[in-house]
Structure formats: structure tokens, C-alpha cells
Amino acid sequence: MEKKKIEGFEHVRYERPQLSPEEMILRSEQFYQELDQRRTVREFDTRSVPLEVLENIILTASTAPSGAHKQPWTFCLISDPSIKKKIRDAAEEEEKISYATRMPEHWKADLKPLGTTWEKPFLEEAPYLIVVFKQSYGMENGEKIQHYYVNESVGIACGFLIAAIHQAGLTAVTHTPSPMNFLSEILARPFNEKPYLLIPVGYPKAETYVPDIHRKSLDEIIKKF
């Protein structure tokens, strides 16, 4: 590998294959079409998925850019049914209160078309749960390490994660039980880590239906200058 020191720091040569405009248009269109097939799925088949697939998906998430390259994330991968049950019980306990008293009527009205309720069977049915933790700061040899743009970094990593899950032929739901401190307790995470997202992953249940909702058009989301 070609290397070079820049201001005392090692750099490696980096190149991408040069694609023709036609090839770029084709590839970007194909990638869009692929990701446009992604749908959030809340009903899972209990069939297991090879562990290596989940490891590759998490490695893909870890390729995300992060503030000062601090990689401020931890991905807890859960397949143990007893831990899944603990998570489901704790999540449902919170969600029951949220749906009954914490969420305003307009919020519940907005969720009606998606058919969500306080019940979260997917937390036990999905073969894997990925609980993403953000590291507010790092810890190395008992020393605090400053992290930067933690929410942005972990959010981008979760985007990569969700795209990788889809590309592997699997489905997921980005679940945010609220409050979700119970995840730190159940998974015994250190004080510098805070739960960010809970993502059940697996095959969709046979004959799954998803809400007939649509994405905004390009004209609605783009402003060209």
C-alpha cells in the first residue's frame, strides 16, 4: 500500500474506480431502487439467521463516518430468549404507560395508519435484537475520551445498519421505547453509554402486510440552487 506522511501523520493512497456518467446513473438508480424496496416490518418469522450475517451488518454500520473518527457506538446483539423476554416485558411496561397517558392524542392519531400499539411481540419473535448504544464519551484505561457529534455519528451508523439489513434480504423495525434506560440495566452497559435505538432483525412473517404509505417525490424534498 502506498503511504505518505502528511504533517507527521501516516496517510494511505485512496482511489475509487472512475465510472462513466452512464454507469454512475445506472448504479445510483439501482441502489435507489434497492433501498426503495425497504419497508419497516413489525412481524417476524422466528426462523434463525446465521450469526455471520448479523456480524457483517454490524461491520457495515461501523464503516459510517464519525466525529474525529471516535466511532462512538456499541452494538449489543441479542439472541438469548430470556434476555429478549426481559426487554419485551420492560418495553411493554413503558409503552403501556406511554400509549395510555404520555402520548398526546395527535401523536396517537398519526400512528393509527401504522397500526402500532403498546404490545411488542416482535421483541421476542425476531431472531435478533440489535440495541445500539451511543457513547457520550469514551473510556480508555480509566481515562475519559472526548467524543464529538455523537448523535449525528450514531444516527449515520444506524442508517448504514438499516440499509445493510435490507440488502441482506432481512427486515427490521427501528423501535424507540421511551424511556429506554431499562436497556442499560438489562445489558449492564457502562455509564458512558446511552441507549439510542432498538432494532429487531429477521425474516418477515409469511404473508406480511405493511401500511400502504408512500414516499415524498423528488420535487417535494429537493431544492436546487
- Beta partners for 177? none
Strand locations in 116-161 (E): 128-135, 137-140, 143-146
Burial of 187 (0-12, 13-18, 19+ CB in 10 A): middle
Joined together, the cell numbers standing for residue 13 give: 493512497
CB of 123 to ligand IYR, least distance (A): 10
Residue nearer to ligand IYR on the CB measure, 85 or 108: 108
Closer residue to ligand IYR (CB): 200 or 202? 200
Shortest separation between residue 21's beta carbon and ligand IYR, angstroms? 38
DSSP 181: T
Least distance to ligand IYR, CB of residue 117, Å: 7
Cα 151 versus chain centre, distance: 12
Beta carbon of residue 135, minimum distance to ligand IYR (angstroms, whole number): 23
CB of 119 to ligand IYR, least distance (A): 9
Residues 157-176 that bind ligand IYR (CB under 6 A): 175-176
Options 43, 76, 90, 95; binder of ligand IYR; rule CB under 6 A:
95
Region 29-88 residues binding ligand IYR, contact defined as CB under 6 A? none
Considering the rule CB under 6 A, would residue 109 count as an interface residue with ligand IYR?
Answer: no
Complex with ligand IYR: residue 177 or 195, whichever CB lies closer: 177
Which residue minimizes CB distance to ligand IYR?
A: 116
Q: What is the rounded distance in angstroms from the CA atom of residue 78 to the CA atom of residue 97?
A: 25
Least distance to ligand IYR, CB of residue 178, Å = 6
- Which amino acid is located at 4 in the chain? K
* Footprint of ligand IYR on 111-130 (CB under 6 A): 111, 116
The position carrying cell 455523537 is: 150
* 178: contact with ligand IYR by CB under 6 A: yes
Who contacts 197 (Cβ-Cβ below 8 Å, separation ≥6)?
Answer: 131, 132, 158, 174, 175, 176
Task: Count other C-beta atoms under 10 Å from residue 223's C-beta.
Answer: 5
For ligand IYR, the closer of residues 177 and 202 by Cβ is: 177
| Residue 16 vs residues 4, 28, 88, 126: alpha-carbon distances, Å | 18, 15, 44, 37
Q: Which residues make up the interface to ligand IYR (CB under 6 A)?
A: 95, 111, 116, 175-178
